[in-house]
Structure 1
Amino acid sequence: MSTYFWFEGIPFSSIAHIREIIEESHDKFVIRDEDTVIVSYPKSGTNWLIETVCLIQTKGNPKWIQSVPTWERSPWIEIQKGHLTLINKEGPRLMTSHLPFHLFPKSFFRSKAKVIYVIRNPRDVLVSAYFFQYNKNLIDNPESLGTYIEWFLKGNVPYGSWFEHTRDWLSMRGNDKFLLLSYEDMKKNTRGTIEKICDFLGKKLEPDELDLVLEYSSFQAMKENKMSNSSHILNGVIINGLVLMRKGVAGDWKNHFTVAQAETFDKVFQEKMAGFPPGLFPWK
């Protein structure tokens, strides 16, 4: 994994990350009581959640999401540009992170800040990440899906093991400053999920405002919004042929896994995620 560096047992892309910023994020970055943080393992619906929360904040008015890029509306704690933006930003901040629990800013655990954590079927996460990385120059190119499944199950992928990331963050369940969402529930009951986020953040939307949030956070609307699909900045600058938003569906893994691969994955999932209550993972 030549394009990675390891920090506290986690691989990070050396193109996107700087070791000192990861370290500073953990030890020195101050999360304030009024902040809201969107946290996820990569390819779990992060940008969709950011879009939804931004639209809730503007009561469905799309002006902000259509004029300011995603990473400026909700900067990344562990990416240098976002890190510096957040340090200098006044007032309540919306921010994003893929950091695992043990590398998350220590200050969060002493604060009243709120975290929204979104999970997704790891098989779909894996397939989405594979197509995101395949034939790109950003990180190591997996030669086949079979190869990527091996990397994924060992945690030799950006931000490490899905199983550890999810298991550790789920230890926050039951804490009133932690909201757990799933990509699958967001797809199945988008309106209900928006209402749940509003309750958690103490926001009140009128029915017509909620309709606008639904409309402008849809997959099609986001795919057509250059500030959300990142095409205007990423293509040709960082990666050629980048597709940040590929399909936006649940269950696509079934079109790609062989029976043997599915059985191997299931076995690892059962071992790694043993002890969680039935129904916590909506894709099972």
Structure 2
Amino acid sequence: MARLDVRETLHNISFPGHLHTQDSLNYAINFPFRDTDTLIATYPKSGTTWMQGIVTAIENRGDPHLSKTVPNWTRAPWLEQYYSPGVLEASHGHRIITTHLPYQLLANALQDSKAKIIYVIRNPRDVVVSYYYFHKMANFLPDPNSFDEFLDEFLEGKVSYGSWFDHVKGWTSQAGVLANFFCISYEEMWLDLQGCMKRISSFLECPLVDEELARSLKQCSFSSMRDNPMVNYTQVPNEIMDHSKGHFMRKGKIGDWRNTFTEVQIDHFDNVYSSQMQNCPITFLSE
């Protein structure tokens, strides 16, 4: 299923046709969640792969076998992508599921569910830079041209998966509303992975002893994940992801956006951010 130049649209949000069909998107928004499911929800390039690794490590109490032998898209499949029905319907017991869908599209499916939801947010300045470089290597995403053009499309919500602002406001509005909802930032994990892993394991009701925690931390370090072919997408053929144009796991730092943004772009971004997020008091570390 190549469909590299195909785009699917649902509720005015664009999705890459290489990974999505109308059937798969409708499957996702009508998905029968089980109370035993764990759902990782993110906007793209916000720490999705990292959280998949963290949850896998915690659920397996630091045993690295699964993370070293099973690709992350199989052990924590994307709900809205075309292959997920076959993977999820064959799964028994606890399932780790991933989604980039905005809350608005999953609201009905999650309404009466007790599934545990982990939402990861990241400084949008770093998100847009990471997303720009991902577009350069992912042949199923439009050519981003210049960063200036891509930034405008991002701020206007015209990129794949829609508006970052709508995504973050939709999901974070469910804190204290949805049962079993846990929100954490990329920056928190970068600054204190051990403390965050303890909090996540407590939320998942799977507390780790010191030895299990140490093993989990080791396999979830940026360097370990970057070098793991089950995580770094080097198994994906070059016609899908052109690895000569970049690495899926590029830098993983916080505040790297300053190496890309011009002063004019910073001012433009800040003006749009202030307007869009005035009723959503979220702060991000910028350095």
User: Into which bin does the TM-score normalised by the smaller protein fall?
Assistant: over 0.9
CA distance in 2, matches of 1:87, 1:4: 26
Match of 1:138?
A: 140
Match of 2:13?
A: 10
Give 1:265's match in structure 2, choosing from 266, 269, 272: 269
Match of 1:65?
A: 67
The one-letter code sitting in structure 2 at the alignment partner of 1:123 is R
Match of 1:40?
A: 42
| Larger helix percent | 1
Corresponding residue pairs, total: 279
CA distance in 1, matches of 2:146, 2:102: 26
Match of 1:217?
A: 220
CA distance in 2, matches of 1:105, 1:67: 34
What percent of counterpart residues are identical?
38
Counterparts in 2 of 1:78 and 1:135: CA distance versus 1, 3 Å: closer
Counterpart mapping for 1:92-103 below 5 A: 92-103=94-105
CA distance in 2, matches of 1:133, 1:30: 32
1:135 deviates by: 5.5
Deviations 1:211-240 (A, max 9, x none): 1111110000001111111202x1325222
1:174 deviates by: 1.9
Counterpart mapping for 1:102-181 below 5 A: 102-104=104-106, 106-134=108-136, 136-175=138-177, 176-181=179-184
CA distance in 2, matches of 1:152, 1:9: 15
CA distance in 2, matches of 1:105, 1:81: 22
CA distance in 2, matches of 1:272, 1:165: 12
CA distance in 2, matches of 1:68, 1:89: 14
Task: Tell me if the contact between 2:137 and 2:242 (Cα under 8 Å) persists in the aligned partners.
Answer: no
Deviations 1:12-60 (A, max 9, x none): 1122211121012112x11011110000000001000100110001111
CA distance in 1, matches of 2:96, 2:233: 19
CA distance in 1, matches of 2:43, 2:219: 24
Counterparts in 2 of 1:255 and 1:80: CA distance versus 1, 3 Å: same
Deviations 1:157-209 (A, max 9, x none): 11000000000111111244100010000001111110110111111211121
CA distance in 2, matches of 1:63, 1:136: 28
Task: Tell me if the contact between 1:10 and 1:159 (Cα under 8 Å) persists in the aligned partners.
Answer: yes
CA distance in 2, matches of 1:238, 1:137: 5
Q: Which moved more, 1:168-177 or 1:115-124?
A: 168-177
The one-letter code sitting in structure 1 at the alignment partner of 2:84 is G
**2:249 aligns to what SS in structure 1?**
coil
Structure 1 runs of 4+ aligned residues shifted over 4 Å read none
1:84 deviates by: 2.5
The one-letter code sitting in structure 1 at the alignment partner of 2:111 is F
CA distance in 2, matches of 1:134, 1:237: 13
Task: Tell me if the contact between 2:187 and 2:284 (Cα under 8 Å) persists in the aligned partners.
Answer: yes
**1:247 aligns to what SS in structure 2?**
coil
Counterparts in 2 of 1:8 and 1:181: CA distance versus 1, 3 Å: same
The one-letter code sitting in structure 2 at the alignment partner of 1:15 is H
CA distance in 1, matches of 2:222, 2:134: 17
Counterparts in 2 of 1:240 and 1:128: CA distance versus 1, 3 Å: same
1:156 deviates by: 0.8
User: Mind listing any 5+ residue stretches in structure 1 that lack a counterpart?
Assistant: none
Counterpart mapping for 1:185-204 below 5 A: 185-204=188-207
User: Mind listing any 5+ residue stretches in structure 2 that lack a counterpart?
Assistant: none
The one-letter code sitting in structure 1 at the alignment partner of 2:253 is V
- CA RMSD, Structure 1 to Structure 2 (Å): 1.4
Give 1:87's match in structure 2, choosing from 67, 89, 92: 89
CA distance in 2, matches of 1:139, 1:69: 21
